[in-house]
Every structure is written in structure tokens, then in C-alpha cells.
Amino acid sequence: MSAVVAEHDDHHDHGPAKGLLRWVITTNHKDIGTLYLLFALAMFFVGGAMAMVIRAELFEPGMQFVNPQFFNSMTTMHALVMVFGAVMPAFVGLANWMIPMMIGAPDMALPRMNNMSFWLLVAGVLLLASTLFMEGGAPASGWTLYPPLVLQTGKALPFAIFSVHLLGISSIMGAINIIATIFNMRAPGMTLMKMPMFVWTWLITAFLLIAIMPVFAGAVTMLLTDKFFATSFFDAAGGGDPVLYQHIFWFFGHPEVYVMILPTFGVASTIIPVFARKPLFGYSSMVHATAAIAFLSFIVWAHHMFTVGMPIAGELYFMYATMLIAIPTGVKVFNWTATMWKGSMTFETPMLFSIAFVVLFTMGGFTGLMMSVAPADFQYHDTYFIVAHFHYTLVPASIFILMAAGYFWLPKWTGHMYDERIGKLHFWLSVISVNVLFFPQHFLGLAGMPRRIPDYAVQFADWNMISSIGGFIFGASQLLFLYIVIHTIKGGTGEKVTSEVWEDAAKHSLEWTLPSPPPYHTFTTPPTVIPTEHI
Amino acid sequence: MKKTKQLFAGLILMAFGLGTAQAAYTLNLMRGVTKVSNDLYDLHMLILWVCVFIGIGVFGTMFYSIYHHRKSKGHKAEQFHENTAVEIAWTIIPTLILIGMAIPATKAMIELDNVQESDMSIKVTGHQWKWEYEYLDNGIHFFSNLDEGSNKVRQVGSGLDPRSVPNYLLNVDKPLVIPTKKKIRFVFTSADVIHSWWVPDLGWKKDTNPGFINESWTSVDEPGTYRGQCTELCGKDHAFMPIVVIAMNEPEYNAWVEQQKAAAAAEAGSAGKEWTKEDLVAKGKAVYETNCASCHMPDGAGLPGTFPALTASPVVTGDINAQVKLVSEGKGMMPAFGKVLSAVDFAAVVTYTRNGLGNSVGDAIQPLAIQALQSGIPVAGKNE
């Protein structure tokens, strides 16, 4: 690096490399954070375009646009791209940008691995996307890749599996880096129980990732050997069991969905106190609730499989264990409400998205509680009711909080203020259309519409059309966000941004003590005062 | 024009919100027609009301706070950030609510699981993409496919109106018939991938796993027709393998059983006779449209890159025995039809593909030859 700025003597204060190469070789946590966030935003639109294909086909009964096989590829790829290409990388991007600045560290602990983990992600997602153009089409078995169905995939199968391996390696590297950074690079005085909630939730998430990604890699490797090397892990004819795959997959899959929601909790716990002008209510119970949810996520996996044919003892155990999740999750919602209580609230765009998150995530939580009841799940399972449930916990929860984080920290990252009016317009369009999109899906599921179907009986027509209209408006509204991001990077409103950006934000967390935008290298000497407002 | 109208209707519905013009479809789970489905409905409503009650409390508090505790109204922020009593309360109370929910849920689960003391058993086998029913007590055995009307409309770009078909996508050529007021035990398995058998009015769904047996049960009091669908993604035509159950009072059911036995005997007879090529081609066209057209297309053109064309295909225009073997055993995404089609249907569809769809190979294969072959075929799914 120092060669690039050879005329400088001060190696501690050099800037980035010049030109495009800067982004390829960078080891700077801010650059890598930006790369992750922009890549995630791009994939959000790719996955979103696939969702638009799905909603267009479902706009009316009958088959209008795509054949059923391609429709199944769309549902599969939409999920894989959104999970592994958009939501997870977006949170890793936030972690890269914010964790060092929040704990007073100069950079991530393992900067070269950081670079590698980003480029492996790009390779993995591109490999996955390339399967769309292969003979036999992209995987069409749903993102869960259940055998025996997934073994009927054409040429794409080994490529999809290798792509999962790459994504897994990338995630594990990212997780190791985050854990190493948090454990080794905190500023003096920043004890674990003084860390901002976002750092805490990411620490716990990183442990989840290290525990589960190898399990997923193992599961798909068994698919690979079943298909090409004559093993029979999941084939009854050779002594295997297709349901074994589901157990392994969901041992990964359930913690995986918490990988997408725990950092969401962290961001919400960061934003709400700033705009309520109050400390976070129940900091230590928030930390403990996060840890409890993470622990429970490992022992509830078979609630995704209530109808697969388990013994009654299994059904009952997984029902009871799943119901328990409602307790720590409830604690979190109550804490956020108590944080707002008797505050002095203002409603800038990040706060609006955060409040919508608390309300709509709780709705997703309610339907989750309903589905935890095993006998009732014999009706709900694999219908649009579950589609509504997990989209409520992912779109107006994870995605909304990512939007909130964007609005909250863009002024810090760029030194420019976004346009509040367009931000609010984006919020209101999003929050209304997302409910028009997903709320009717509860009705469809209860009325008997199965998920993953490209065509349906005519009694489901009206709600599907309404849902599709909501989907199109929601999709189009996100172009506003793209506009706002570009506009803000290019100078925004032109308003001068202070280091705090938001009123008294520096009382809550260290990043607000730095100039906006922060210099290329920050906290090369550790901060001396640790904010404690959030505790 | 039709689309514009529907779009407009959709927008009006949105504008008026819920509660208007909705007689035609339900918003909630239906009670169903069995004791289990009624118990599950009550359980569903109980949890729903618990959620509504908690929701009103939490959201009510939040919106009260959002309205009153805002800076623009001059509210000054208080700085409290913990309260042990409150925190204990909102941990204990939800725990008690959960215990209250778990008790009826456990009872319902045990009831759902009890397949003992059944009056009769039906074996259900999932296939890509049809259901196979076998009455284990009297030997009745048949396949149930999507009905012809729906099948025509649901082809990509058919341009036909789904509303013109009664029970679009929820109708079959041969429904499952059960007697009322009997405890019927179902055993489930699959010949290929995992499917799931769901009739909402019966109150449950159950996965069909290849190589394994699952069980469930039902007892229907009132005669009627109950419809459902496959609910586990099982490939391309997952949306097109519905389930129809007709519950009949015992005398009608017994008459149906006799009728089925007579029809089976007639079918067995027809496989034994010598068929002309023309008769096979004529019958084969219908078999092709039910079983093959959704991938290979009604005109045999296939779908380039995904499903091969049959017109001028080297397999179809090549050795007839090689084609029979491929159709019988399946390949990749193509299901194995050896145990799925009757000898007559099998011979007819193969003969049709060779002498229709723009091909003119000129030969034919007799049902008797297929019968001989089928008796030597290894059993699919290892479950018979």
C-alpha cells in the first residue's frame, strides 16, 4: 500500500489507492463495507426483479408469461439471491463500516481476509446466477434444495452446490473477522457490557454463522455425492432417508433466519434511542434475550417439518421449544416500546422505518407463534400463510431496518445529507405497499392456497391481484431509495453535516464523535471517553 | 379490456378495504368437516385472539407514546432505562399464556396422531404429477389426474379463461371415494419425490416420502365433495395435481365399490386383445395430453433447453423398444411411467408419439407386449 503514496512519509495517514484498482485490492474496512453494501443493493434489485416475475405470473389465474419450471427457478433463485446476495452481505457491510468505529478500533482485525471474503461472495453469487443460463435451467427445487427433487436439476446442480460452498467460506471468514475484531480491538474501557447493541448482536450472529455454514456445506456435499458418486445418504433404495436432509438443512436453516434478524435487532436498538432521546430500555436484558434467541435457534429446527411424519414425542418437543422463542422476542419488543415511552420523539426517516419494523416484525412474530402450535401447523404448513409470515419477518423487518440504517448512517459515511422529503415519500410508499403486498397472503393461505404454485384456483384471484399490485408498487418505490443513495453520495441537499448528524447522537455511540465523512483511517489512537448512554 | 376491468376491481377493493364485496372468498381458516378439523379451527381462533389481544396492548401503548411523547408537542425525555419489576412481569406473563396455549395444543396433537382402531385403510402414493389410490381392504386401485378442462386451460399461453372451467385446478378425472362415519386410515408414500397430501376440510396435510410410510386418519360425518392440492413442491407440475375426496353414505359407497370392480375387470380384458394401430393412436392422443403435453407441449415441439421435442426426436423415431424402456424408467426430470400407465395407455401413447406429432414411423406396440414387460419391471419406490 505504501508504494502507492511513496511521496508521503507518514504511513499511518495515507489515503486509498487511486483508480478502480483501489476497490479490488482494498483492505480498508470502510471501502470493504461500501463494496458489501453496494453489492447487496445491486442484488436486492436482481432478487426483486425475480419477485416481479413471480407476482406478474400470479397477477391472474391461468399461465400467462412463464412456464412452470421457470417459475420454480424464479422462486428458488429469488430466495437464494435475497438471502445470500442481499440481506446477509448488507449486514456484513454494516458490520464492516460500523463495528470498528463503534468500538474505537482502527480497522477490522484481519483486513486481507476481509477483502478475500468479499470477492468470494461476488464469485459465489455470480456462479449461482450463471445457472440461469445452463441446460435444464437454474435449480427449481425451492431454496431448501430438498432431495430427491433437487437431484432432478439439470447441468446446474454441481455449480449451485459449489456456489453454496463459496458463499459459506465467505460467510465464515466474515464471521471470524468480526469475532476477532470485537474480542481483540475494543478501545480501553469498552468492556463487553458497554458495547453498542449492534456490536453485541453481530458478535452473537457471527457465532451462529460459524456453527451453521459448515453444516449447510455438508448437506449440499452429500447431495453432490448422492448425485455423482453413488452414495445414498438421502435415497431409501440405498438405506438412506430423504427426511435426513431436511433435518440437516433446518439445523442450518433455522439459525440462518436468525442470522438475518439478530443484526436487525441491533440496528433497531441503535436507532430508536437516538430519536426517542432516551437511553435504550433494558440494555442487559436485550443482550441476554439475543443470546437466548440464538441458543433456542439451534434446538427448534424440526418445526419446519411438522407434517413430514415425526413421532408424537418429536412433534410435542419441537412445539414446546419453539413456543419458548416468543418469550425473549417479546422482551425485545417490550423493551423497544419502553424505550419510546416518555421519550421526546422525532420522526426522521430512519425512525419511521424503525417504528414500522417494530410493528410489522411483531406481526410476523404473531404468525410465527401461531405456526409453532404443531397441530394448527398441519393446516398452515406450506401455504401462503407461511409465505406471508416469513416475508413479514424479512421485508418490513430486515429490509426496512437496512433502509433505516442507510438513512441513519449515509450522512456519516458521505458527509452529505439525504433529502428528507423524498426519504419520507419512500417510507410511506414502502410501508403501505408492503402491507398491500403481504397482508392478503395471510387470507390466501388460510383459504387454502399452497405456496410455490404458478397458477391457482379462481377463488384466490382477487387477493392475488391485490398482492401483485402491492408488489409492483413496492418494487417501483425502491427505485426512490436507489435515487436517494446516488443523490446523497453526489452531494445530497448540500446542507452541512456535523459530526453528530443527529441531536446528541455522540452520547450513544463512538462513530458520532468522528467527522462526517470520517477520514480514511480512524481511531489510529484509541478514544479515551466511552459513551455509556445506551447502557 | 377484461384485465383492465379486473385491475379496476382490485383497486376498488383496496380502496374500500376489507369487509366489502367479499362473500365469494374466505379470509379465515374454514371449520372443515371432521372433529379434528373443528378442534384445529378452535385452536387457531384461540391463538389468533391471544395475538390480537397482545397486539392491541403493545401497539396501543406504542401509538399512545408516539402521539403524546413527541418533541414537537414539547415532551421532555425522561431518562429511566430499567425497571426490574416490569421486566420480570413481561417475562412471566407471556410464559403463563404459552402454557395456556400448550395444553389444548397437546390434546389436539395427540388426537391427530391416533390412527388406531380404523375401519379401513387407503394407500396414497404421490407421483410426478398425479395421485395413486389403493384401497387396501378391497383391492380397488386407480390414478387420479388433473381434469381435462383445467388441463387445457392451464397450458402456457392457452388464452382460455380459467373462470370458464368449474373448479379450475381443483378437479380430477377420478376422485377418491370414501364412506361417511368410518374411521379411515391413510398410509402415504411416494414413487419419486416428496409430495404432500392436503384436503383443508379434513384438517391436515401429510408428506409422502419415497421409501417410507406415513400415516394419518379421518372420519367424515356428512356426504360431500372436498377438494385440496399437493402442498410440497414436487417439480414442474406441482400446482397441477389436485385432490378430490367424495364422501358417500354407506349404500352409495358400496354401489361405487361394485362398479369399480366391474370396470377393473373390463379394463383387464381390453389389454388382452389385439389393437389396430389406428385405435392405439386415437387413444394415445388423450393419454399424451394428460401425461406428456405439459413438458413436451401439445404439438410435440418441447421447450428448447429444458424439455426435448418429440417431433423428429431420435428416441421417438428410433428403436421402439429403446423408447419403451425410456418411457418406462424415466430419465432426469422425466418421471418413470412403467408402473403409472396401464398397459393399454402405455402402448397407445408410445404408438401415438411415433405416428402423430408430425412423426410417421409407421410401427405400433401392443398392450400385451407392455403387459409382459411390466410384470418384469422392478417395483417403483419399494413400497408394494
A379-397, pLDDT tens digit by residue?
999 999 999 999 999 999 9
Q: Do B113 and A312 touch (CB under 8 A)?
A: yes
- Select from A276, A282, A381 the Cβ nearest to the Cβ of B205: A381
pLDDT number for residue B384: 31
Q: Which residues of B touch A141 (CB under 8 A)?
A: 233
Q: Select the highest-mean-pLDDT range: A96-110, B270-284, B348-362.
A: A96-110
Interface predicted TM-score (ipTM): 0.90
B254-279, pLDDT tens digit by residue?
999 999 999 888 877 777 788 888 88
Q: Which residues of A touch B203 (CB under 8 A)?
A: 378-379
Q: Do A327 and B95 touch (CB under 8 A)?
A: yes
Q: Is residue A10 part of a domain?
A: no
Q: Do B29 and A446 touch (CB under 8 A)?
A: yes
Q: Is residue A136 part of a domain?
A: yes
How confident is the model over A115-121, as a mean pLDDT? 97
pLDDT number for residue B17: 45
pLDDT band at B25 (very low <50, low <70, confident <90, very high): low
pLDDT number for residue A8: 46
pLDDT number for residue A492: 85
Q: Is the pLDDT reported for residue A458 higher than 80?
A: yes
Shortest Cα distance from B321 to chain A (angstroms)?
Answer: 24
Q: Is the pLDDT reported for residue A533 higher than 80?
A: no
How confident is the model over B7-15, as a mean pLDDT? 49
Q: Is residue A46 part of a domain?
A: yes
How confident is the model over B308-316, as a mean pLDDT? 88
Q: Do B306 and A469 touch (CB under 8 A)?
A: no
Q: Select the highest-mean-pLDDT range: A20-29, A430-439, B274-283, B330-339.
A: A430-439
Q: Which residues of B touch A454 (CB under 8 A)?
A: 239
Shortest Cα distance from B58 to chain A (angstroms)?
Answer: 7
pLDDT number for residue A112: 95
pLDDT band at B7 (very low <50, low <70, confident <90, very high): low
% of chain B surpassing 70 pLDDT? 91
Q: Which residues of A touch B238 (CB under 8 A)?
A: 68, 72, 452-453
How confident is the model over A192-212, as a mean pLDDT? 96
How confident is the model over B271-300, as a mean pLDDT? 85
Q: What CATH number does domain B25-113 carry, 3.50.50.60, 2.40.40.20, 1.20.1260.10, 1.10.287.90?
A: 1.10.287.90
pLDDT number for residue B295: 83
CATH number of the domain that residue A203 is part of = 1.20.210.10
Q: Is the pLDDT reported for residue B377 higher than 90?
A: no
pLDDT band at B364 (very low <50, low <70, confident <90, very high): confident
- Select from B66, B72, B205 the Cβ nearest to the Cβ of A307: B205
Q: Which residues of B touch A452 (CB under 8 A)?
A: 233, 238
Task: Enumerate the β-bridge partners of residue B134.
Answer: B123, B141
Best A300, A382, A467 residue to mutate vs chain B (most B CBs within 10 Å): A382
pLDDT number for residue A6: 44
pLDDT number for residue B383: 36
Domain range for A424 is 26-513
- Select from B58, B62, B106 the Cβ nearest to the Cβ of A316: B106
Name the domain count of chain A.
1
Q: Is residue A89 part of a domain?
A: yes
Q: What CATH number does domain B273-382 carry, 1.10.10.60, 1.10.760.10, 3.90.580.10, 3.40.50.10540?
A: 1.10.760.10
Least confident residue range of A56-70, A312-326, B6-20, B323-337: B6-20
Return mean pLDDT, chain A.
Answer: 93
% of chain A surpassing 70 pLDDT? 97
Q: Is residue A521 part of a domain?
A: no
% of chain B surpassing 90 pLDDT? 54
Q: What CATH number does domain B120-268 carry, 2.60.40.420, 3.50.50.60, 3.40.47.10, 3.30.530.20?
A: 2.60.40.420
Q: Do B113 and A447 touch (CB under 8 A)?
A: no
Chain A residue whose CA is closest to B48: A370
- Select from B47, B61, B214 the Cβ nearest to the Cβ of A309: B214
Least confident residue range of A253-262, B233-242, B275-284: B275-284
- Select from B11, B69, B234 the Cβ nearest to the Cβ of A149: B234
Q: Give the domain ranges of chain B.
A: 25-113, 120-268, 273-382
Q: Is the pLDDT reported for residue A192 higher than 50?
A: yes
Per the model's pLDDT, the better-predicted residue between A436 and B76 turns out to be A436
pLDDT number for residue B18: 44
Q: Is residue A3 part of a domain?
A: no
Q: Do A343 and B66 touch (CB under 8 A)?
A: no
How confident is the model over A526-530, as a mean pLDDT? 88
pLDDT number for residue B290: 83
Q: Do A281 and B236 touch (CB under 8 A)?
A: no
Chain A residue whose CA is closest to B333: A152
Shortest Cα distance from A535 to chain B (angstroms)?
Answer: 8
Q: Is residue A534 part of a domain?
A: no
Q: Do A66 and B156 touch (CB under 8 A)?
A: yes
Q: Do B303 and A366 touch (CB under 8 A)?
A: no
B156-210, pLDDT tens digit by residue?
888 899 999 999 999 999 999 999 999 999 999 999 999 999 999 999 999 999 9
pLDDT number for residue A2: 42
SS3 A345: strand
pLDDT number for residue B8: 52
